[in-house]
Amino acid sequence: MTTTRPDSALELRERFTRYLRDRRLPVTRQRLQVADVLFHAPDHPSVDGISRDLKRRGVTVGTATVYRTLDLLVESGLVREHDFGEGFRRFESMTTRSHHEHLVCQRCGQVVEFVNERLERMLDMIADEHTFLHRRHRVEIFGLCPDCRGRDAADLRASVTS
């Protein structure tokens, strides 16, 4: 279940390189390193998470460069930007998986992805009904993941007993 999808990552790096070359933008060590970290991330890292990951690998990339590279990655369409209302952004590389939404655990921060075709169609319909041109959307369900759900119930029992 925790696949690293190395082949996907390689392909994405190539696509990013191509994107840069097409626009006559330098393909620098920093840009590739930031992209690689993100392409290999199994989750939805924040800028801080990406920086720490880079440090762990022994390389240092200035914060400003990380932000600037993320802008490029988002523009290129290879990376998706998220704002789960935590006060900072998270990023996610686009694998071959289809468009998906998120379930966010309010206790442990775990993010689970889900796909639902019917939901997507319904959103198209709703936009149409309001004569809106539908460009993108965001569906997030907040609550407790299976683990935290049980733990919360346990906490409650403990507090009642004490």
Partner DNA sequence: TTACGTGCAAAGGCTTTGCAGTCGG
Partner DNA sequence: CCGACTGCAAAGCCTTTGCACGTAA
> Is 82 exposed, middle or buried (CB count within 10 Å of its CB: 0-12, 13-18, 19+)?
middle
Give the separation between CA 6 and CA 41, rounded to whole angstroms.
Answer: 10
Q: Residue 126's binding partner, choosing from its own copies, DNA, none, with beta-carbon cut-off 5 to 8 A by kind?
A: its own copies
Q: Residue 137's binding partner, choosing from DNA, its own copies, none, with beta-carbon cut-off 5 to 8 A by kind?
A: its own copies
Contact between 18 and DNA per CB under 7 A: no
Among 5, 15, 68, 82, which residue sits at the site for DNA (rule: CB under 7 A)?
A: 68
Residue 131 CB: number of other CB atoms within 10 A?
Answer: 6
Helix (H, G, I), strand (E, B) or coil at 120: helix
- Give the position of tokens 């992805």: 113
Residues 88-107, one symbol each (x = binds DNA by CB under 7 A, - = not), give xx------------------
Q: Residue 114's binding partner, choosing from DNA, its own copies, none, with beta-carbon cut-off 5 to 8 A by kind?
A: its own copies
Contact between 43 and DNA per CB under 7 A: no
Q: What does the buried/exposed string (b/e) look like for 51-70 if buried means 16 or more CB atoms within 10 Å of the residue's CB?
A: bebbeeeeeebeeeebeebb
Among 24, 29, 56, 130, which residue sits at the site for its own copies (rule: CB under 8 A)?
A: 130
**Quick one: which segment of 5-13, 15-23, 91-99, 100-108 binds its own copies (CB under 8 A)?**
100-108
**Ramachandran quadrant class, 6 (left: phi over 0; alpha: psi -120 to 50; beta: rest):** alpha
Chain contacts with its own copies (rule: CB under 8 A): 83, 85, 103, 105-106, 112, 114, 116, 118-119, 122-123, 126-127, 129-146, 149, 152
